[in-house]
């Protein structure tokens, strides 16, 4: 094991897969000469050269389209968006082309492409730089969507995404690039896409989340442990395909569920999970399912409003106490 930052774990995954397979290349804004906007690709240009680490103009639609075409003819591109907020400019290529070409071609074309970059709030960056679109992309058949919460998961999921023969979105929290943790140095270390993980076992309530909200859940669980409330924390890790089985099995043990999601409430992943649990574990529930999401409003710039907008441990503790009848 090595102690790595989140960005270093992503870099290790990229380096190992580029060494392993000559078809893998990286393309995006500032990935080469500048070493990446968040220094994820630091040193890769020097090692692999400008034919495999390609700086692009500020044209998300254009370089996403090049990536889709390259994947169709046998390469394995990794397309970095400086932020998924800007990936909206390329959503036609992601949703109408990458996601659909295998089906539209009757299986004649695979599209082994990775779209990756930061997602969600990063503090005082206001409305156009603070949005969480994981649920949008998870809604699309033909795409796979992952959202790692630790350096270990970042490496294992990105490597699996690069090796996958279908388009995968790796959506990373902008606030976690400096997060440190243990990461296996094994070059064949993979985390299967579609498998959730119980990050903390518990007996009284299940809290389900993904990405940086997992750390909100873990902090709340640690505080509540001192009050005698046992919280099980599940990290989805993959948002499409969802690991319903792990969530439902947990709820059957704890009989209560709180779902935490950074994005807006309407049509979110929290709503989908709540539906699945009431459909398949209704008789096990001892309290209504509660979801904790971002505010149903655009993100503000003022730090007090940012704090009010996002789920936090205090609000999660209140939700957990509600479903466990501690209030």
Catalytic residues: 60, 129
The CA distance from 171 to 134, in Å, is 7
Question: Among 228, 236, 202, 232, which residue's Cα sits nearest to residue 217?
Answer: 232
Q: Is 163 exposed, middle or buried (0-12, 13-18, 19+ CB in 10 A)?
A: middle
DSSP bridge pairs for 106: none
Within 10 angstroms of residue 50's Cβ, the number of other Cβ atoms is 10
Q: Classify strands 114-119 and 180-183 as parallel, antiparallel or unpaired.
A: unpaired
Query: What DSSP state is assigned to residue 297?
Result: S
């Amino acid at each position: 094991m090595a102690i790595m930052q989140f960005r270093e774990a992503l870099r290790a995954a990229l380096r190992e897969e580029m060494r392993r397979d000559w078809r893998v290349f990286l393309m995006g804004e500032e990935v080469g000469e500048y070493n990446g906007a968040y220094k994820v690709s630091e040193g890769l240009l020097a090692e692999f050269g400008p034919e495999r680490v390609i700086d692009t103009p500020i044209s998300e639609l254009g370089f996403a389209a090049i990536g889709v075409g390259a994947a169709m003819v046998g390469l394995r591109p990794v397309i970095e968006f400086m932020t998924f907020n800007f990936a909206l400019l390329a959503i036609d290529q992601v949703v109408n082309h990458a996601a659909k070409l295998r089906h539209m071609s009757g299986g004649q074309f695979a599209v082994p492409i990775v779209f990756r970059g930061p997602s969600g709030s990063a503090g005082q960056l206001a409305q156009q730089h603070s949005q969480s679109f994981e649920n949008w992309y998870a809604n699309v058949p033909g795409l796979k969507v992952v959202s790692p919460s630790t350096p270990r998961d970042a490496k294992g999921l990105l490597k699996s995404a690069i090796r996958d023969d279908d388009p995968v979105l790796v959506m990373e929290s902008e606030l976690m690039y400096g997060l440190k943790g243990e990461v296996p140095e094994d070059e064949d270390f993979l985390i299967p896409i579609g498998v959730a993980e119980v990050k903390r076992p518990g007996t009284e309530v299940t809290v389900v989340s993904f990405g940086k909200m997992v750390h909100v859940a873990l902090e709340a669980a640690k505080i509540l442990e001192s009050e005698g409330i046992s919280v099980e924390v599940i990290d989805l890790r993959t948002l499409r395909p969802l690991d319903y089985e792990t969530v439902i099995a947990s709820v059957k043990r704890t009989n209560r569920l709180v779902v935490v999601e950074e994005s807006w409430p309407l049509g979110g992943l929290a709503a989908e999970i709540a539906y699945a649990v009431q459909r398949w574990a209704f008789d096990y529930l001892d309290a209504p399912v509660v979801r904790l999401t971002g505010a149903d409003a655009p993100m503000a710039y003022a730090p007090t409003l940012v704090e009010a907008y996002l789920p936090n441990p205090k609000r999660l503790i209140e939700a957990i106490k509600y479903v466990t009848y501690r209030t």
